[in-house]
Chain A
Amino acid sequence: MTWDDSQPMVSIKDVYKSFGKLQVLKGVSFDVMKREVICVIGPSGSGKSTLIRCVNALNTIDSGSITVEGQEVHDPKLDKLELRKKVGMVFQQYNLFPHKTALQNVMMAPIHVLKEDKKKVEERAYELMKKVRLEGKEHNYPGELSGGQQQRVAIARSLAMRPDVMLFDEVTAALDPETVKEVLNTIQELADDGMTCMLVTHEMGFARELADHIYFTDRGIIVEHGPPDTFFKEAKDPRTKEFLSQIL
Chain B
Amino acid sequence: MSGPHADKAKTDLPVLMPGAARLRRGAGKARREGGMRVELELWHGLVLLVTLAVALGVAEASQHATESPWAVLLRWMPFILWGQEGQWQGFALNIIISFCAMALGTVTGAALGLMQISLLAPVRTGSWLLTQFFRNSPWLVLLFTIMLLLPFEIRIGDTIVPIPDWVKAVIGFSLPVMANISEVVRGAVISLPSGQWESAESLAFTRAQTMWMIILPQCFKRMIPPWMNWYSILAMATPLCSIMGVEESVTLTQQAMSSEGGRPELLAPFYIFLLVIFFVYIYPIARWTVRLERKYTVMI
Footprint of B on A, CB under 8 Å? 20-22, 45, 56, 58, 80-82, 84-85, 87-89, 91, 93, 95-99, 108-109, 112-113, 143, 154, 157-158, 161
Contact = CB atoms under 8 A, between A and B. Distances in A.
Contacts of A99: 217-218
B201 A98 contact: no
A56 B204 CA distance: 10
Contacts of A84: 201-204
A8 to B, nearest CB: 21
B204 A113 contact: yes
Of the listed residues B12, B198, B218, the one surrounded by the most CB atoms of chain A closer than 10 A to its CB is B198
B195 A113 contact: no
Interface of B: 12-13, 193, 195-196, 198-206, 209, 213-214, 217-218, 299
A128 B196 CA distance: 22
A89 B205 CA distance: 13
B201 A97 contact: no
B13 A22 contact: yes
Contact of B205 (A58, A96, A112): A112
B218 A98 contact: yes
B203 A157 contact: yes
Given A58-B202, A95-B198, A98-B218, A108 B213 contact: yes
Contacts of A112: 205, 209, 213
B198 to A, nearest CB: 6
Contacts of A45: 13
A21 B13 CA distance: 10
B196 A95 contact: yes
B202 A97 contact: no
Q: Which 7 A-B pairs have the closest CB atoms?
A: A95-B199, A95-B195, A84-B204, A109-B203, A89-B202, A81-B204, A113-B204
Contacts of A85: 204
A58 B195 CA distance: 11
Contacts of B203: 84, 108-109, 113, 157-158, 161
Contacts of A82: 204
Contacts of B13: 22, 45
Given A22-B12, A89-B199, A109-B205, 16 more contacts: A20-B12, A22-B13, A56-B202, A84-B201, A84-B204, A85-B204, A91-B195, A91-B199, A93-B195, A96-B199, A97-B214, A99-B218, A108-B213, A112-B205, A154-B199, A157-B203
Nearest to B215: A97
A113 B196 CA distance: 16
A80 B203 CA distance: 11
12 contacts: A22-B12, A58-B198, A58-B201, A80-B204, A81-B206, A84-B203, A89-B199, A91-B198, A93-B193, A95-B193, A112-B205, A158-B202
Contacts of B199: 89, 91, 95-97, 154
A95 B202 CA distance: 11
A91 B194 CA distance: 12
Contacts of B198: 58, 91, 95
A108 B200 CA distance: 10
B219 to A, nearest CB: 10
Contacts of A81: 204, 206
A42 to B, nearest CB: 15
A113 B214 CA distance: 13
A93 B196 CA distance: 10
B202 A88 contact: yes
Given A93-B195, A98-B218, A113 B202 contact: no
Contacts of A98: 218
Given A95-B196, A95-B198, A95-B199, A113 B217 contact: no
Contacts of B205: 109, 112-113
Contacts of A58: 198, 201-202
A97 B201 CA distance: 13
A15 B217 CA distance: 38
A45 B206 CA distance: 30
Contacts of B218: 97-99
